[in-house]
Amino acid sequence: MCGRAFSQSSNLGTHMKRVHSGDKPCKCRVCDKAFSQSGDLSSHMRFHTGDKPYKCHVCNIKAFSTSQNLTYHVRTHTGEKPFECTVCGKRFTQPSNLTSHSTVHSGLRPYKCHVCGKAFSRSGSLNEHVKVHSDEKQHSCSLCDKSFKHASGLKQHKRSAHNDSEPFPCPVCGTVFTATGELKRHVRSHAGAKPFSCSHCTCSYAYRSVLKQHLLTSHNERTLLICDICLTRFSDRADYDGHVFRHQGMKPYVCSECPKRFWTARRLRQHQLVHSDFKQFCCFFL
């Protein structure tokens, strides 16, 4: 059934009975969860005891309750990513990350925010998004008394206020960015690179969002979102949601530093720079 091989017929018989028959005789006395093999039960019990016997030999810091989790962690040091997406070629250190990534290509967004209705393909993205509607600040700076809703906000604060890490300046115009991905997208404006090509005509664009708009307006491709009130058309869900909120008078995105509220998460992120010491645009003339 699964292709696993054994040196003795008795071991094969035990495997068939426990794995493929649905028989799970090994039961946890703490939470009643059942397992087909005693080894799986032993690994599970470590979640209750907090025992982490598998320590990383590379960083000597991280420890894990199972050898498999240790294997996944070590790959972050070695750069090994054996699990490849068959659609875009992106690679991952563990199969669960590949499974989560695959939802991006399927278009499914089963995780919906109960406050604003925005949908996500991953539960982690939804959990991070929900914090926007709350005043709770879980991420505290270890160098001062400031706290933030999101880990990204704390990271940006450390870069700007405590010089925790060097920013990423553009080698052409000197504009400074907090992430390499933002810098790469910006550099395209100087290099004239247009990696996003239309499949219907010869048009190419520097940004994926511009290509999406072109496909919608010129070739009537991609999901068309139409406002029921004013019939304005959108190709981007975030833009559509923000537009609808304006009609409804809703501003569900709350700033963690002041009482200001916004229609979209994008506007909120732009506003939060006001509370940061980080200055994104630098003059490069002497």
Looking at the domain assignment, is residue 201 inside a domain?
Answer: yes
Q: Are residues 269 and 204 in the same domain?
A: yes
Sign of the CA dihedral with 215 first, then 220, 221, and 226 last: positive
Of the residues 71, 95, 125, the one at which a domain ends: 125
Looking at the domain assignment, is residue 68 inside a domain?
Answer: no
Closest residue by Cα to residue 39 from 18, 56, 22, 57: 18
Query: Which residue range is the domain that position 164 belongs to?
Result: 139-189
**Maximum C-alpha span of the chain:** 80
Closest residue by Cα to residue 254 from 101, 150, 159, 180: 150
Q: Are residues 204 and 174 in the same domain?
A: no
Strand ranges for 87-205 from DSSP E? 91-92, 111-112, 119-120, 139-140, 147-148, 168-169, 176-177, 196-197, 204-205
> What's the CATH number where 99 sits?
3.30.160.60
Looking at the domain assignment, is residue 42 inside a domain?
Answer: no
pLDDT of residue 162: 59
pLDDT of residue 286: 46
Looking at the domain assignment, is residue 1 inside a domain?
Answer: no
Identify whether the C-beta of residue 63 lies closer than 8 Å to the C-beta of residue 52. yes
Please state the pTM of the whole predicted model: 0.39
pLDDT < 70 regions, the chain = 1-7, 15, 17-22, 107, 135-138, 149-150, 152, 156, 158-167, 178-181, 221-224, 235, 276-286
Q: Are residues 215 and 157 in the same domain?
A: no
Q: Are residues 209 and 260 in the same domain?
A: yes
Q: Are residues 257 and 213 in the same domain?
A: yes
Tokens in use for 234?
């959108």
d(CA 70, CA 54): 6
Q: Are residues 203 and 166 in the same domain?
A: no
Looking at the domain assignment, is residue 284 inside a domain?
Answer: no
Domain count for the chain: 3
pLDDT of residue 71: 87
The three-state DSSP-derived secondary structure of 268-280 is HHHHHHHHCCCCC
Q: Are residues 227 and 163 in the same domain?
A: no
pLDDT of residue 229: 81
CB burial of residue 86 (10 Å; 0-12, 13-18, 19+) = exposed
Looking at the domain assignment, is residue 14 inside a domain?
Answer: no
Identify whether the C-beta of residue 253 lies closer than 8 Å to the C-beta of residue 261. yes
d(CA 251, CA 245): 7
Looking at the domain assignment, is residue 39 inside a domain?
Answer: no
Q: Are residues 266 and 215 in the same domain?
A: yes
Looking at the domain assignment, is residue 25 inside a domain?
Answer: no
d(CA 113, CA 127): 9
Tokens in use for 116?
């604003």
d(CA 193, CA 71): 39
